[in-house]
C-alpha cells in the first residue's frame, strides 16, 4: 500500500504578488525551493492562513534571494500580498519508506528568507 506523505512544507511564507493575468502557478524564491526540496513544476497545495482558502497549483522558480511568493492566474483570487501561506508538497511512499520518512520543513522569516529548516514538526504544548 502507498501512503501520501508530507514531502515538504514552507511554513508561513508571505505573499509578495498576486498576478491574475499570468498563465498560472506559484512563483517561489529559488532559495526556498532548494531548502524545501520542492522542484519546479511540482504540484503544491497552498493553505492561506489569512482567509482559509486552500488550493492546488504547481511551483515555478522565482529569482534566488528575491523573497518572491507570487500567486498567479486564477489562484490570485485566493491570496493577496501580505497574506501568510503554508505551501506543501506530498509524495507517495510505501509503508516501510513511510516509517523512516521525515519531511523537509522550511520556516522563512518576514522577508521570505530561509530562517530555519527542520525534519519534524515540534510537539505542541498541552
Tell me which DSSP letter residue 49 carries.
T
- Residue 58 a catalytic site member: yes
Q: What single string gives the DSSP state of each residue in 52-112? A: --EEEEEEEEEPTTS--EEEEGGGGGG--TT-EEEEEEEEEEEHHHHHH---EEEEE-TTS
Active site residue: 22, 47, 58, 90, which one?
Answer: 58
* Residue indicated by cell numbers 506523505: 5
Q: How far is 34 from 102, CA to CA, in rounded Å?
A: 16
The yes-or-no answer on residue 25 being catalytic is: yes
Strand partners, 84: 14
Active centre residues (catalytic): 25, 58
Amino acid at each position: 500500500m502507498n501512503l501520501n506523505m508530507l514531502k515538504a512544507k514552507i511554513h508561513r511564507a508571505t505573499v509578495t504578488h498576486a498576478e491574475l493575468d499570468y498563465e498560472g502557478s506559484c512563483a517561489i524564491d529559488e532559495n526556498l525551493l532548494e531548502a524545501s526540496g520542492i522542484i519546479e513544476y511540482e504540484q503544491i497545495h497552498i493553505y492561506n492562513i489569512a482567509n482559509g482558502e486552500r488550493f492546488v497549483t504547481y511551483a515555478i522558480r522565482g529569482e534566488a534571494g528575491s523573497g518572491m511568493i507570487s500567486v498567479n492566474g486564477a489562484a490570485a483570487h485566493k491570496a493577496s500580498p501580505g497574506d501568510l501561506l503554508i505551501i506543501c508538497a506530498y509524495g507517495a511512499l510505501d509503508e516501510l519508506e513511510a516509517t523512516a520518512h521525515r519531511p523537509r520543513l522550511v520556516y522563512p522569516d518576514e522577508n521570505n528568507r530561509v530562517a530555519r529548516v527542520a525534519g519534524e514538526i515540534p510537539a505542541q504544548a498541552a
